[in-house]
Structure 1
Amino acid sequence: MAKFLNTSATNYFLEELIKQASERLILISPFLRLNDRVKELLEDKNRLKIDIRIVYGKNDLHPDEVSWLRELDYIRTSFCKNLHAKCYLNEESAIITSLNLYEFSQINNNEMGIYLSRSDDPDLYRDTFEEAQRIIRVSDEVRMSLEKIKSEDTNASTTKPSSDENTKITSSKLAKILGLSTQDFLKKCIEKGYLQENGDKTHITEAGKNIGGEYKYSKRFGSYFIWPTDLKV
């Protein structure tokens, strides 16, 4: 029988749903923003070669998500226009909820959800799975590429970039030069005061601008930052 989930229960059952996936995992959420715990769980599923589909509807990708996703062979991502549904499934259970993936484990919001299992609610599970498959079919599969971000930003600009801008590189590329993961590099920038987190967004500060950092936006791939190549953190 379907179960009602409050905020804490939604977080708990979503984590269990991801951990218990043994054949497939479908994550449908408007925003492709993943916290460390979700990334850890998905990395484990990728190591086990579980088929993972992530469908998102908002172009809010950051270079750290792009770089991270490129390294996972068994995760496929799709963009679905006008997506507002939040639904998470494995081969045995599903959750339909108000909880976005980026809000996972954040208990400040008041969320609701419904948990259902294939064994107890076969018809309801089937209808949910079929609708998830329909959303996947109408979505456009996206192969994450940092080069696409650079190309998209260049194509979107109608003015010639300055020579100073040409000497700057994205967070992920600079992180690689420094021997860091993109996520660790961004954390260090926050610690240094170059970046500031505000809810689910990360903003560049005046200190970040003063050392040469810049905020950039691509219509397709969302927000990212570029930095001088000689920046140390």
Structure 2
Amino acid sequence: MAKFLNTSATNYFLEELIKEAVDRVILISPFLKLNDRIKELLADKNRLKIDVRLVYGKSELQPPEIEWLKELTYIRTSYCKNLHAKCYISEELCVVTSLNLYEFSQINNNEMGVLIRRSEDADLYRDVYEEAQRIIRISEEVRISLERPNGEVVEDVRPDNSIAGGVIAKLTSSKLSRRLGIPTNELLDRAVSAGYFDLINGEHVLSALGENSGIVFVPKSRHGAYL
């Protein structure tokens, strides 16, 4: 059963949601300016290699957020045009609220929300989680790694593809994992979580979403099957 949250309770359960997560964290907020406590909690999730998705949509990231996010491999940031929803999810808890993930709002505004526990209301949790996944799918992932000649860090929202002569070149899973700096097995696990593959009898099977996204399964080569 959903539980009503006032301002202080919303902030409390937001922190608890992040702190207790052991598998995934999804943070959807139009405005993004993190306070130090949230940054500490998210940095700890990054050290534990827990997948974190940040989705924002109302303004460009500010330099402090850009600098902080640059070194956090397991925190992926996406931009969603016309985003107005505020929703925070772990594998067990979900908070749907008026609260932006914005330092000023957390301190000064009067907010409210509802807390949903997956163990108590699996159907409602699933509905919110699926909508959050839809928002992630329509968002553009932001790679925070570019610097202008004057040293200013800027956001790059282009898809991370190799482009030569205007043609997008496909990457094998091993090359993509090296580019991202993660093991191939972890890359495939993330792809399963995102819905690009199904795991059937221990084998990775390309899903309809993966096929529509341009992923290709090559069944035979001199190195065996690869993606």
The corresponding residue for 1:88 is: 88
Deviation at 1:145, TM superposition (A): 2.6
Q: Deviations over 1:121-174 (max 9, x none)?
A: 111000000000000000011111342xx38xxxxxxxxxxxxxxxx75499xx
Q: Normalising by the residue count of structure 2, what TM-score does the alignment of the two structures yield?
A: 0.64
CA distance in structure 2 between the partners assigned to 1:47 and 1:142 by the alignment: 20
Matches within 5 A, 1:52-201: 52-103=52-103, 106-147=106-147, 150=148, 170=152
Deviation at 1:83, TM superposition (A): 0.2
In structure 1, runs of 5+ residues without a counterpart are 152-167, 173-233
The secondary structure found in structure 1 opposite 2:102 is helix
Greater percentage in helix: 1
Q: Larger relative contact order (C-alpha < 8 A, sep ≥ 6)? A: 1
Give the % identical residues. 73
Counterpart residue type for residue 119 of structure 1: S
CA distance in structure 2 between the partners assigned to 1:171 and 1:127 by the alignment: 37
Deviation at 1:87, TM superposition (A): 0.1
The corresponding residue for 1:34 is: 34
CA distance in structure 2 between the partners assigned to 1:65 and 1:4 by the alignment: 30
The secondary structure found in structure 1 opposite 2:59 is coil
With over 3 angstroms needed to count, the CA separation of the structure-2 counterparts of 1:143 and 1:105, relative to structure 1, is same
Counterpart residue type for residue 57 of structure 1: G
The secondary structure found in structure 2 opposite 1:77 is strand
The corresponding residue for 2:184 is: none
The secondary structure found in structure 1 opposite 2:84 is coil
CA distance in structure 2 between the partners assigned to 1:104 and 1:122 by the alignment: 33
The secondary structure found in structure 1 opposite 2:31 is coil
The corresponding residue for 1:208 is: none
Q: Normalising by the residue count of structure 1, what TM-score does the alignment of the two structures yield?
A: 0.62
CA distance in structure 1 between the partners assigned to 2:30 and 2:82 by the alignment: 8
Deviation at 1:70, TM superposition (A): 1.0
Q: RMSD between aligned alpha carbons?
A: 2.0
With over 3 angstroms needed to count, the CA separation of the structure-2 counterparts of 1:102 and 1:60, relative to structure 1, is same
Is the CA contact (8 Å cut-off) linking 2:66 and 2:153 kept in structure 1?
no
CA distance in structure 1 between the partners assigned to 2:42 and 2:138 by the alignment: 24
Deviation at 1:31, TM superposition (A): 1.1
Are positions 1:50 and 2:68 aligned together? no
CA distance in structure 2 between the partners assigned to 1:137 and 1:9 by the alignment: 30
Q: Deviations over 1:179-209 (max 9, x none)?
A: xxxxxxxxxxxxxxxxxxxxxxxxxxxxxxx
CA distance in structure 2 between the partners assigned to 1:171 and 1:126 by the alignment: 37
CA distance in structure 2 between the partners assigned to 1:106 and 1:88 by the alignment: 14
In structure 2, runs of 5+ residues without a counterpart are 155-227
CA distance in structure 1 between the partners assigned to 2:146 and 2:62 by the alignment: 10
Which runs of 4 or more aligned residues in structure 1 lie more than 2 Å from their structure 2 counterparts after TM superposition? Answer: 103-108, 168-172
The secondary structure found in structure 1 opposite 2:33 is coil
Deviation at 1:104, TM superposition (A): 7.3
Give the count of matched residue pairs.
154
